[in-house]
Chains A and B, each alone.
Chain A
Amino acid sequence: MTATCPHCTESIEATDRFCEACGADLHLRRAGTVTAVDSATVETDRPCRSCGHCAPADNDGYCPSCGLHPRDGTDRVELDLGALAGVSDRGHVHARNEDAMALGLLTDKGGLAAVVCDGVSSTRDPEKASRAAAETALDVLLGVPPDAGATAVALTRDAVAAAAKAVSALAPADRLDPPSCTLVSALVDRSGQEITIGWVGDSRAYWLAGPEAAEPARLLTNDHSSAAQGRPHEITRWLGLDGEPEPDIVTLRPTGTGLLLLCSDGLWNYCPNAQDLADIAVPASATGPLGAAATLTTVALDAGGRDNITVVIIPVVIPVIPTLRSPS
């Protein structure tokens, strides 16, 4: 039996890591905000979604009849890779979804990663920054090709550096308000026993578990913001021009089962407390990580949805090691 590449349908060998024809990583399953954008991008000969006008969109990017700008497909993005899932929502107030996420898992050797980025609204085209940063960071975290010698901490540092470079490359340095964004990433090793979190800015990682859990719920990151000075929405580190893209990195070795949550401030502005988040997410995760991510997103939307909301859930199962009894 011959398998085919899911990307280009060329035949592949079971032992191949990469497709010989298109170069796709055959063992990496990934999804991201950009996937939603790609599939929704309006082709020039497609009818306008609002009025059905069939003439090609004019040069200014608007429908030549009703004047509406095509949406880019990211108002609501739901990604589910089974082992992890994410929801990103425009919210009720912002015109665009300037958050982005990227999720991936390696099907051969295990190991998975996720990245959440929040575009800085005071810059131009912030969604370009968040999308480029999320995708670039995931590329490095899930190593193509994998850097055998690299530690998870070094990979995280490299991923943030590469993401920062990708954001800077989006606009010439002399342009007014070049795009910038925050970043939070998680790299989970194949056993699920070592989780490496890196972040720049005020996007957060939480550990969520029941109140009696061996590994208690808590916030894992520490915002780079002027919250202490009374300006919680003024970030002090970011990816982009004049930003300090230096990540803080922590490693978590959970002793019990729980959920890893990555989120933008669109969620934690409404629900900052780890135990409160856990009380909502843990029961909702019974249907899988997408259920938990969607439930948390709904909480933020119902509370007002003033910002873009992005929620990624990674369930972490620590196997109970049976106690060895000495033969009697």
Chain B
Amino acid sequence: MTGAPPFTVEVDHNAYLHDGASRVDAIVTVTGSEDAAPAPGGLEIIIIDCSSSMTGEKIRSARRATVAAIAALRDGVSFTVIAGTQIAEQIYPRKGTTATADSDTRAEATKTVDRLRAYGGTGIGTWLTLARRTAQRHPAGIKHAVLLTDGQNGESAGELTAAIQACIGKFTCDCRGVGTDWRVDELRTISSALLGTVDIVAKATDLADDFRAIMNAAMDKRVADVALRLWTPRDAQVRFVKQVSPTVEDLTARRTETGALLGDYPLGSWGVESREYHVSVEVPRRSVGERMLAGRISLVRAGSDEILGKGLIQVEWTGDSALSTQINVRVAHYTGQAELAEVIRDGLTALEAGDEPLATARLGRAVTLADESGNDATARLLNRVVEVIDTATGTVRLRRNVSKEDVMTIDSRSTKTVPVRRGP
């Protein structure tokens, strides 16, 4: 296919295994080429929470944010705006259709945003279902939604889960929570399943800037539905496949078998960007001197065999311990970043459950890891929740009267990672 951007796939790992070793860890960097033209068409769905709790500054900011998002739409992109209460109502264009962005439709849509009024309940599952139906009617291409809410879902967990499951692979979704009455885990479940981002916008007035940024990033996507295809040798076990940059996202359970030794992991749409993956494979042990292909990473257009880029994880067994004991800097770094996300989550869960000793231990460990890896943003956020006594040992004291906003901010951003620090 012409115009398909070549992806570059770089593999960084210690290729030398000692005698008897069988575990292979590699950091795979996938970069989309700048040469690719933005994909034509595409679909944007803007979903705004119109529950009664949005009354006042929140709904006014949501309208301004929607206007900003509409303004950022590229000509030719299809779009709809959905008002969400206990039901989902498409407020633009008329029900069952989508509009194609141009100066007329952008102006028209902007006029309709005052129909976003706070008056009902919160049924996120129904919003997603309407978005899915719209996406399914739309021809293949980049399909993306942005979802804003300020409260907890009023549906049963089962209803929401079923709605999310049905949406997987139909469109990607960035989720934003405004204020502090929504649940981070609820939105993270959606954004994670739908390969998007989650964040808190504590101040309603910041919403417009945030929506503009989301829409600009969405307009910059070039390829819809990319999958990482992993070949591993017979009798090998895939320990895990994790996205580790820009955020930690475990993809292991999302594998679809696509051949005898092949599995595909969905990555969503792709722009001019790099993402990194930690691939960990257990291979059969071989003797010194043997060379093996422990994995082949291909970037494919989802649901096809069209290969957009390829990288090899090649290993060899050696008796030279000077080679086999070398620590790969990036594998170590991202292993630490993944642990950081995990201990923050554990710490916050313990905090919520009132288990202060556990919360202190986990968040203390997080302080150490954030410092070691140079994750300054996370270190600053942690500092709002705990008082650091000694960074190196992770000795901390829980702060009293920590704001809910601070806890939710660190929870939302716990999976954000930083690249490996440049050497001195």
Binding site for B on A (CB under 8 A): 51, 60, 62-63, 65-69, 71, 75, 90, 92-96, 306
The contact string, 1 if C-beta is below 8 Å from chain A, for chain B 76-118, is 0000000000000000000000000000000000000000000
What is the minimal beta-carbon distance from A17 to any residue of chain B, in angstroms?
41
Q: Which of B236, B289, B318, B320 contacts A67 (CB 8 A)?
A: B236
CB-defined contacts of A60 to chain B, threshold 8 Å: 293, 296, 312
B234 / chain A contacts, CB cutoff of 8 Å = 51, 65-67
Hey, which chain A residues are within 8 Å of B320, CB to CB? Answer: 93-94, 306
Q: How far is the CB of A22 from chain B (nearest CB, A)?
A: 35
Q: Is the CB of A93 within 8 A of B318?
A: yes
B338 within 8 A of A: no
Q: A67-B233, A69-B293 are in contact. Are A92 and B283 (CB under 8 A)?
A: no
User: Which residues of B line the A interface, CB within 8 A?
Assistant: 232-236, 261, 283-284, 286, 288-294, 296, 312, 316-320
- Complex CA gap A90/B320 in Å reads 13
Question: A60-B296, A93-B318 known; A69 and B233 CB under 8 Å?
Answer: no
Residues of B with C-beta under 8 A to A94: 289, 318-320
Residues of A within 8 A of B292 (CB): 62, 66-69
- Residue from the list B232, B233, B288 in contact with A92, Cβ < 8 A: B288
Q: Specify the chain A residue showing the minimal Cβ separation from B284.
A: A66
B87 → A minimal CB distance (Å): 53
Q: Which residues of A have CB within 8 Å of B261?
A: 65
Q: Are A69 and B291 in contact, with the CB atoms below 8 A? A: yes
Q: A96 to B286: give the CA distance in the assembly, Å.
A: 14
Question: Does A62 contact B288, Cβ atoms closer than 8 Å?
Answer: no
Nearest opposing residue in chain B for A96, CB measure: B289
Extra pairs beyond A67-B236, A93-B318 (15, CB < 8 Å): A60-B312, A65-B261, A66-B233, A66-B235, A68-B286, A68-B291, A68-B292, A69-B291, A71-B290, A93-B288, A94-B289, A95-B316, A95-B318, A96-B289, A306-B319
Which of B289, B291, B316 is A90 in contact with, Cβ under 8 Å? B289
Q: How far is the CA of A312 from the CA of B173 in the complex (A)?
A: 69
Q: Contact at B283–A67, with CB atoms within 8 Å?
A: yes
Most buried by B among A62, A63, A65, A96: A62
A63 cross-chain contacts in B, Cβ below 8 A: 233
* From B235, B283, B290, B319, contact of A69 by CB (8 A): B290
Which label, helix, strand, loop or mixed, suits the secondary structure of the B interface?
Answer: loop
Which residues of chain B come closer than 8 Å to A90, judged between CB atoms? 289
Q: Measured between alpha carbons, how far is A17 from B319 in the docked complex, in Å?
A: 48
Measured CA separation A94–B287 after assembly (Å): 11
C-alpha spacing A144/B210, complex, angstroms: 78
- Bound-state CA distance A63–B235 (Å) is 13
Alpha-carbon separation in the docked complex, A67 to B281 (Å)? 13
B285 to chain A, nearest CB (A): 12
Please report the C-alpha to C-alpha distance between residue A58 and residue B289 in the assembled complex, in whole angstroms. 21
The 7 closest A-B pairs by CB, nearest first: A67-B233, A93-B319, A69-B291, A62-B293, A67-B293, A95-B316, A67-B292
Question: Hey, which chain B residues are within 8 Å of A96, CB to CB?
Answer: 289
21 interchain pairs (CB within 8 A)? A60-B293, A60-B312, A62-B292, A66-B235, A67-B233, A67-B234, A67-B236, A67-B283, A67-B293, A68-B292, A69-B290, A69-B292, A92-B288, A92-B319, A93-B318, A93-B319, A94-B289, A94-B320, A95-B289, A95-B316, A306-B320
Which chain A residue has the least Cβ–Cβ distance from B320? A93
The interface residues of chain B lying within 8 Å CB-to-CB of A306 are 319-320
* A95/B291 in contact, CB under 8 A: yes
CB <8 Å contact, A68 and B289: no
B268 nearest CB across to chain A (Å): 27
Chain A hits for B296, CB < 8 A = 60
Smallest CB–CB gap between B248 and chain A, Å? 28
Report the separation of the CA atoms of residues A68 and B288 in the bound assembly, to the nearest whole angstrom.
12
Question: Is B294 a contact partner of A95 (Cβ separation < 8 A)?
Answer: no
Q: B283: nearest residue on chain A (CB-CB)?
A: A67
Contact of A68 among B232, B290, B319 (CB under 8 A): B290
Q: How far is the CA of A93 from the CA of B322 in the complex (A)?
A: 11
CB distance from B16 to the nearest CB of A (A): 8
B85 to chain A, nearest CB (A): 55
CB distance from A54 to the nearest CB of B (A): 14
Kindly list chain A residues whose C-beta atoms are within 8 Å of the C-beta of B286: 68
| Neighbouring B residues of A68 by C-beta, 8 Å | 233, 286, 290-293
A45 to B318, CA, bound (A): 29
Q: With CB as the reference atom, state the residue of chain A lying closest to B296.
A: A60
